[in-house]
Structure 1
């Protein structure tokens, strides 16, 4: 009998660098690489991993060459990088609109010894040549770059930026590929997708996730590969599914410091597949094993498992450093990089170093702590099923007098709750829409930024679960974050619900 058709396979190359002997070292890039490696290995991908001193260009190049040789048309190669990015004068005159080539900086590169160490960078032109090798075989490529090349930020964040100093002198091309690749541009590729941590005008900071320094893009991509981005459970992640998932969760985990950048900017088709979550399973077997095809036109799907928040790392407490003399509030004995409360100044800081609240005295500290315990719970829910909301204009921080618009479009579930977790710790009920009633897009227009300043978080929850009881809790003017958390734990934890979180950081002047 004929053998079953071969399913497309996925090969992966993972690079993560913390230790830079000749530059500022990072704290979370290797942790990112290990996380992505575990997720992709569990998904059945063939994965090659290089961290710190192992990340030598010749070895990475050979691994890429081997993967391209092993792959056949229809397969996918995923290359993820977490580490420093930098810029240099363009190698080919007129090649770059800004006159600068970007490069990934490996540990062996030393700006003080350009000639001897220039081989330990990977220039964007070289990567174009690598991608061209795969595309010529009909192999799909997804490049995920958790690094940055330029930009600055308005908020004062204590974490490190994945931006190395630019090279200011013109270097000789590190390889022939660096010249040949200049003739290849992203727009020319038909099967290559690039996912960058941020726009070129933004930095890529390391932020605190679950108490540890991380890259928000790497963290989100690992969760996507675990299956959270596979919205319909059909075993593949389309470009649209990945885009929706990554945009929402990078915003949540970076507290709106980053906007990821996809190239090409628009999906080539509605069903364009960028990640396959199964490897080496015969097509017929995968189809027969499907449990639900009602919503996908007969495609193989598997019901998506929804985990309770505690299985996703939520602990019900936060770590808190108290600078000064004060009683420790409850639920503030967690581990990891802490929030910080300056008792004398009354300022409450996030683990990233942002000002989260001002005028926080002993009478308010419990409410603020409870807010962040609740917010961590909501972030855990959002990591499985994020929703999409927007704040216009989009900034990382707003000044007094700025006017804003908040939009929460209808979700794919019939019931919706909208509320604000204010920087004071107060819960502010904004809207509830339930099935069978007149519902529409929720909007806040012409909102003016006023005191008190700090960090608010606008929350939207969509679900098919009944929300009347939660709405009743929210409608109580005396509602607290602690009370709301209990209601959400009872009604929505482990249930199917889509959560969107819109951070809103404000101060008196910029």
Structure 2
């Protein structure tokens, strides 16, 4: 996340033409850092994004993974794209790897006195002055993007890295945060000086999507059993067409923002909030990404967007789980990937990220918790195709006992809506059913108080035009459980035009 750079960027309101404009892609992903803590999922992220962009029909793409990510080569690729592009074309630049900070290169340039940079494998902070050619400073990015701006070329920069922030929740994975450089270095290039002169409002053709707000780090989280960056994963799914709600062959700024915000929240378990610059789109039809692949759908208004059953997305109905302190093996476990963990002696159930998902989970309760997370994975797979919008206020990564919160699910445009909670104990708690209305109405819960048991609850909102009477009746039953709900949902709404919104709610005792 490049704060100094982000503050200087605005986005063009002029729509792009998917039929005539060309799209270029520069994709960088780095796991292997000889002089820094290695990452686990950045190259997977970059390859995933590259495949999605290729399938979307980008005209030219250059990729750099691990040791191949050298600054001069990345700069040359960028220069080639700018030279070949014409007004109205788009250059997409995605980066997954470490970010860091350093004392500002130009006095008075940064409000906090710090420049941000992307760290490439060749940089060694113990020899910073000798290896500073292998960092890309925010000022340099300003200069690079100025070249595209001068030609009327649109830029979409996606940065799945971080440089600062703290985390309240326990977390076992890695963050894409390298140690700060504490010594003041000379500017590594002339661009590092000239780019400092770029001020807010100078750009009209650039959109920036960063992994998180400055107050949060960008963690690697477990998605489908693998360490990944939630932003890169969500961006790849968006490019595949999931964000193209109206199927017009273009992803608008609003479509991309709505899709990415919802999926980063659910896939990261609310550990991060992505950050767009500028904060608001300039117009409703502002386009940030044309999708050549979607042109056939756009040309035929009778072709409806289709949704895949979740098994086609890799969901298998099993949960990866390790057990300590007991010989009990819960049913429907044995899934692949980084596992959940149940410490039977302590009665604590942990997520693959290392969070406490539930307390006081004994042998009688563990099966209910397993079924809850199997259902949650099913719902996440549905949400990745058609996410809804929900919110908790105030917004925190973890809530303490006694905190007051409000939950809001806006009207969706679908006729039916079901709202329920997947409690940390594994219980399913019905909150609302709106059946066979013309349009579903807003749902609000206000002034709720956090009480024990603590752990991870998940508030779920399902919006659909499919009948929900049977689902609502099952949820209202005293015997409602996650396995029953899963069976109902998989037989009634899987593969349909159904929106799923997921709001993770992590709680703990007051410190």
Verify same fold: TM over 0.5: yes
Q: Distance in 1 between matches of 2:356 and 2:300?
A: 48
| Corresponding residue of 2:421 | 420
Q: What SS class does the counterpart of residue 384 from structure 1 fall into? A: coil
Unmatched segments (≥5 aa) in structure 1: 294-301
String of CA shifts for 1:204-253, please: whole Å, max 9, x gaps.
00000000000000000000000000000000000000000000000000
| 1:34 to 2:47 alignment | yes
Q: What SS class does the counterpart of residue 144 from structure 2 fall into? A: helix
Unmatched segments (≥5 aa) in structure 2: 1-16
Give the root-mean-square deviation of aligned CA atoms: 1.6
Q: Distance in 2 between matches of 1:320 and 1:390?
A: 30
| Corresponding residue of 1:509 | 510
| Corresponding residue of 2:136 | 122
Q: Distance in 2 between matches of 1:303 and 1:54?
A: 42
Q: Distance in 2 between matches of 1:367 and 1:207?
A: 24
Q: Distance in 2 between matches of 1:303 and 1:31?
A: 31
Asked if the contact 2:29/2:95 (under 8 Å) is kept, the reply is: yes
Q: CA deviation at 1:473?
A: 1.1
Q: What SS class does the counterpart of residue 273 from structure 2 fall into? A: coil
Q: What SS class does the counterpart of residue 188 from structure 1 fall into? A: coil
| Corresponding residue of 1:24 | 37
Q: CA deviation at 1:164?
A: 0.4
Q: Distance in 2 between matches of 1:6 and 1:290?
A: 11
Q: CA deviation at 1:435?
A: 2.8
Q: Distance in 1 between matches of 2:325 and 2:200?
A: 54
Alignment of 1:121-200 (within 5 A): 121-200=135-214
Equivalent pairs, count: 494
Asked if the contact 1:461/1:497 (under 8 Å) is kept, the reply is: yes
| Corresponding residue of 2:299 | 290
Alignment of 1:110-509 (within 5 A): 110-278=124-292, 290-292=299-301, 303-436=304-437, 440-509=441-510
Asked if the contact 2:25/2:93 (under 8 Å) is kept, the reply is: yes
Q: CA deviation at 1:139?
A: 0.6
Q: Distance in 2 between matches of 1:417 and 1:158?
A: 34
TM-score when normalising by structure 2: 0.95
String of CA shifts for 1:448-492, please: whole Å, max 9, x gaps.
111100000000010011111111111111111000000000100
* Alpha carbons of structure 1 residues 422 and 180: separation in structure 2 relative to 1, 3 Å: same
| Corresponding residue of 1:299 | none
Q: What SS class does the counterpart of residue 283 from structure 2 fall into? A: coil
Q: Distance in 2 between matches of 1:25 and 1:171?
A: 24
Q: What SS class does the counterpart of residue 299 from structure 2 fall into? A: coil
Asked if the contact 2:115/2:137 (under 8 Å) is kept, the reply is: yes
Match of 1:10 among 14, 19, 23: 23
Q: CA deviation at 1:5?
A: 11
Q: CA deviation at 1:315?
A: 1.2
Q: CA deviation at 1:109?
A: 0.2
Q: What SS class does the counterpart of residue 362 from structure 2 fall into? A: coil
Q: Distance in 1 between matches of 2:249 and 2:456?
A: 38
Q: CA deviation at 1:412?
A: 1.8
Q: CA deviation at 1:20?
A: 0.5
| Corresponding residue of 1:109 | 123
Q: Distance in 2 between matches of 1:225 and 1:332?
A: 32
Q: Distance in 2 between matches of 1:148 and 1:231?
A: 29
Q: Distance in 2 between matches of 1:204 and 1:127?
A: 20
Q: Distance in 2 between matches of 1:98 and 1:266?
A: 24
Q: What SS class does the counterpart of residue 114 from structure 1 fall into? A: helix
String of CA shifts for 1:2-50, please: whole Å, max 9, x gaps.
xx99611110000000000001111100010010011001111121110
* Alpha carbons of structure 1 residues 438 and 263: separation in structure 2 relative to 1, 3 Å: closer
